[in-house]
Amino acid sequence: MVVGVGIDIIKIEKMRKAIEKWGEAFLDKVFNPEELANIYKGKMFYQRLAARFAAKEAVIKALAKEQPLALRDIFILNKPNGAPYCRFKKEIDNEIFLSITHVEDYAVASAVAQKL
């Protein structure tokens, strides 16, 4: 049974400015080390971080009625085939279906929460 749907969009430039202004402190507040380990500092660095941030926000919205969550409670990772998936710091009884995309200026994510 679907219990919630969430969507979020973020401008890539906003993510870049936040990282440039607050650096590691910002990254540590929003992302978990496991998430950052898989994002190399290449051409798409800010797009990938923005997409994961949008995904976390979408998951929070999808689970708003079920369970309060903070950004660092959520891990946005990738399967070997590149597909994104969501893991949580604590046990929850919901499955999350996630979709992420990004282009030059924007990153968008959607999440659907389903009761297990």
Q: Domain spanning 2-115 has what CATH number? A: 3.90.470.20
Q: What is the mean pLDDT of each run of 10 residues along the chain (116 residues)?
A: 97 96 95 89 90 98 92 95 94 95 96 95
**Residues sharing a CB contact under 8 Å with residue 78, sequence separation 6 or more, in sequence order:** 38, 84, 85
pTM above 0.85, yes or no: yes
Q: Rounded to the nearest 5°, which phi and psi values hold at 92?
A: -130, 160
Tell me the residue type at 32. Answer: N
Question: Residue 79: exposed, middle, or buried by beta-carbon count in 10 A (0-12, 13-18, 19+)?
Answer: exposed
| Residue 96 DSSP SS3 | strand
